[in-house]
Structure 1
Amino acid sequence: MNEMFECTWCGEQQAYRSSGPVHWELPDGSQAIEISGTPQVFCKSCGIVFTEEAVTIEIEDQLMLIDTKQLNDKVSYGELMKIERKLKRNYFRFD
């Protein structure tokens, strides 16, 4: 079984890591895609399912750095992260 930890939203020790689909709008706004197998957090207590900020940043950066015109409507998280980048880093992220 997955190790439980404190939920960011309700504070109960009922959260665990899981994965599932998310829907994401491409940076140019041309379409939304489904990304399956995305790392998520699920809380048994409050029922929330969310993507942690680090994963969100990782997805946003990858979508900024690849040729999104080659993407289908659905892609797995693993496949998305393996796509070759056109740039080395997201120069719009200043942190």
Structure 2
Amino acid sequence: MDLNCEWCGGKAFEGEGTVYWELPDGSRAIEITATPTVICKECEMAYQSDNVTKEIEDQLFLVDKKKIGSSISFKELMELPRLLKRNYFDFSS
């Protein structure tokens, strides 16, 4: 699948990267490794798609944050058990 960079419009590809995310309660930030990332071949911008951003934010809102250390992989984060089935405070859908 051909991707275009949302920043410059150039050719981009899917890869992985490390991101730093503040927990929803603002208590601390965590490192999330191996996060799906869009990487531009032209401007070299690396960013997460809106879908990945929503997945991370929803999951961080729905899991027991005490089970997350200072660093976690994207896969491990997504596999943590949820306290609720979905984010009942998200009215965007």
Q: Which TM-score bucket, shorter chain as reference?
A: over 0.9
1:25 paired to 2:22 = yes
Letter of the 1:82 partner, please give it.
E
Cross-structure match for 1:45: 42
- From 61, 64, 79, the equivalent of 1:64 is 61
Cross-structure match for 2:13: 16
Return the offset for 1:5.
2.3
Gapped runs of 5+ residues in structure 2?
none
Matched residue of 1:36: which SS?
strand
Q: Distance in 1 between matches of 2:77 and 2:46?
A: 21
Instruction: Give the TM-score normalised by structure 2.
Output: 0.94
- From 62, 86, 91, the equivalent of 2:83 is 86
Q: Distance in 1 between matches of 2:65 and 2:45?
A: 30
Return the offset for 1:4.
4.4
Instruction: Give the TM-score normalised by structure 1.
Output: 0.92
Gapped runs of 5+ residues in structure 1?
none
Tell me which stretches of 4 or more aligned residues in structure 1 moved more than 4 Å: none
1:73 paired to 2:70 = yes
Instruction: Calculate percent identity across the aligned residue pairs.
Output: 51
- From 34, 52, 67, the equivalent of 2:31 is 34
